[in-house]
A and B are shown apart, each in its own frame.
Chain A
């Protein structure tokens, strides 16, 4: 009887979840949900796709391409890739939920940090959460970008952070 009661509690919770999801405006559409497709085994293994600064500079301004800065807001304010958005993420590289929704319409997101290694966990976090978006890492990070004399700007982070990006 004890086990049956426990199952009743769990089943009640499950049914409540289904019912609440059905009446929730932003509810999950179970029938049309698609798991993120893993097309590339190297990506599935957590290996980042890396792009040279010169390759990335050719994509600047292209439709659907977002360049994301994974460094601290302070570093971002001191200088960043032109048109890059600041990506709020924690020390483990997990990107804040509110930032994800702003990247969902992108076709390609290129992430950079102080170096390649700093951007890799952020790219991995994005790849797990953005379905159908190509995620790449800027090889060498921001130092490699600025060393090649490519366009960079400085300024307060608030104007460029994803949350306030127009």
Chain B
């Protein structure tokens, strides 16, 4: 049961991350504009636009390809949680400040940021943290 839930979370998070990363990567300029419209360090928008999609793709692929007993599997789960925490903060501050902005979460046509976007990101963050808790810790005989 635990293993099935872990596998389900890995697959779900991986699909969402890779899908989001590829969609953003396909039109990096549009994504950079979306990021700058979040009004959260707009000067960093072009850097975020080229780095974040590939981070999502790498972490998403890591969740799928790394065996669950490998210590890097927990690292991938933690990395996905860090990504989701950052994205949740970004959309939550937009909602809190009342900024009307296109989400850019899944490319150009992902609709505006609403409180539902925050709820969705919180759900994904919870999934990543649950996955981190479910994945087996490295055995004691492993070197530090």
Contacts and interface: CB of A to CB of B under 8 A. Distances in A.
Q: Would you call the interface of chain A mostly helix, strand, loop, or mixed?
A: helix
Contacts of A128: 33-34, 37, 101-102
Given A16-B54, A16-B58, A35-B42, A2 B100 contact: no
Interface residues of B, number: 45
Contacts of A20: 50, 54
Range of interface residues on A (Cβ < 8 Å): 35 or more
Given A17-B50, A100-B30, A36 B36 contact: yes
Nearest to B81: A6
Contact of A129 (B30, B46, B47, B78): B30
B33 A35 contact: yes
Interface in A42-74: 46
Contacts of B45: 33, 35
Contact of B82 (A10, A97, A100, A129): A10
B54 A28 contact: no
A3 B82 CA distance: 10
A25 B28 CA distance: 12
Contacts of A33: 29, 32, 45-46
Interface string B49-86: 11111111111001000000001101110110011000
Contacts of B82: 6, 10
B139 interface: no
A10 B37 contact: no
A6 B78 contact: yes
Contacts of B30: 97, 100, 129
Contacts of B53: 17
Most buried by B among A35, A36, A92: A35
A75 B49 CA distance: 37
B108 A13 contact: no
Most buried by A among B50, B59, B78: B50
17 contacts: A1-B71, A2-B74, A2-B75, A7-B79, A10-B55, A10-B83, A17-B51, A17-B54, A18-B50, A20-B50, A28-B49, A28-B50, A30-B46, A33-B29, A35-B42, A35-B43, A97-B108
